[in-house]
Amino acid sequence: MIELEFIEIPEYLKAFIRKITLFKSRESINYLQKITPSPYVCFSYNHCSIPAYQTSRKTYTFKHRLHLAGPKTDSGIYVKYNGVLHQILFEFKPCVFYSIFRKSPFGIENQLVPLEGFESGKICHSLEETLKNLDETENQIEIIGKYLVRKVEDNFQNINRRIQGAAQTMQEKNGLISKSELLDKSFLCERHFNRQFKKWIGISPKQFSKLVQLHAIIDTLFHNRELKLQEVALMYDFYDASHFINYFKNLTTSCPSIFIRRNDHIAMNYYRKILPEKARIKEYDLVK
């Protein structure tokens, strides 16, 4: 069985990391895990076995232990575990990936790619070798954290404040905000806003808003299991329960009532809400 552990984010990473999670198993497992769509870019390290990445078209296997995962809008992505699992997942805040890697995450939407595609092979090899020789998760997180800080110091370019603000507003409102409201707040025309948003976030504003809403709904289902679907539908501005169920099934391939009863579904625990932080770390302020 896969266990989840939410790791407290070190102060020096809070400006650009929104979540650190450890996925682990006590023994070897053979398991196919469906991935719930997500608008966020992630950095991952596999200390033991290296899972395969499976889409409707192809299964991808890797020899590298360090990967970057782009935003996931496809409902048919799976991860295949075959061995002992010890995976550390760093989830970037919106706009951060482009700022420190100087490449748009749009190019890796629905993909899992080796870090070598964005970093020199020498640095990747050195980082992997260092991590492989460490047994404590805390030490592994510290090494990865220092690497990310160096990337920020070496490559940092000012984040597009308007796009970051728009993404934060969508998060605060659980995706329940109109395009006209976002345009009014950003002072950008629709065409330019859409182009800049996709460049910095990796997906369109509509897709981001829809997936933020999905995560909020999962959080609501997780913490309020006594609610009827009609009540949840009204909370999130759906016409009725039928409209809500169709929306949920299109994104997860499961109706909400079945999804919530699946104790083996990692998403019920993983996509719990994280409130946007009001505090900013002065040392690496990403909204200058």
Instruction: Give the tens place of pLDDT for each residue, 114-153.
Output: 999 999 999 999 999 999 999 999 999 999 999 999 998 8
pLDDT of residue 206: 94
Residue 281 is assigned to a structural domain of this protein: no
Determine the pLDDT at residue 287. Answer: 36
pLDDT of residue 85: 95
Q: What is the pLDDT of residue 208?
A: 96
State the total domains in the chain. 2
pLDDT at 280 over 70: no
- In eight-state DSSP terms, residue 173 is T
Q: Considering only 41-50, 52-61, 247-256, which range has the smallest mean pLDDT?
A: 52-61
Tell me the average pLDDT across 10-21: 94
Q: How many residues does the chain have?
A: 288
> pLDDT band for position 156 (50/70/90)?
low
> In this predicted structure, what is the pLDDT of residue 56?
75
Residue 279, pLDDT > 60, answer: no
Residue 41's domain is classified under what CATH number? 2.60.120
Q: Categorize the per-residue pLDDT at 167 as very low, low, confident or very high, splitting at 50, 70 and 90.
A: very high
Residues 6+ apart with CB under 8 A from 78: 32, 33, 34, 35, 53, 54, 55
pLDDT at 146: 95
Whether residues 128 and 32 share a domain: the answer is yes
Q: 């023994």: which residue's tokens?
A: 27
Residue keyed to tokens 């329960």 = 241
Both tokens assigned to 222: 């997780």
Average pLDDT, the chain: 88
- Examine residue 287 and state whether it is found in any structural domain, yes or no: no
> 12 near 283, Cβ under 8 Å?
yes
Residue 187 belongs to what domain range?
A: 161-270
Query: Do 32 and 132 belong together in one domain?
Result: yes
Lowest mean pLDDT among 49-58, 228-237, 267-276, 278-287: 278-287
Tokens 């959080």 — which residue?
A: 219
Task: Read off the pLDDT band of 157 (50, 70, 90).
Answer: low
In DSSP terms, 32 is beta-bridged to: 80
The CATH number of residue 238's host domain is 1.10.10.60
Higher pLDDT, 248 or 31: 248
Q: What are phi and psi of 30, to 5 degrees?
A: -125, 100
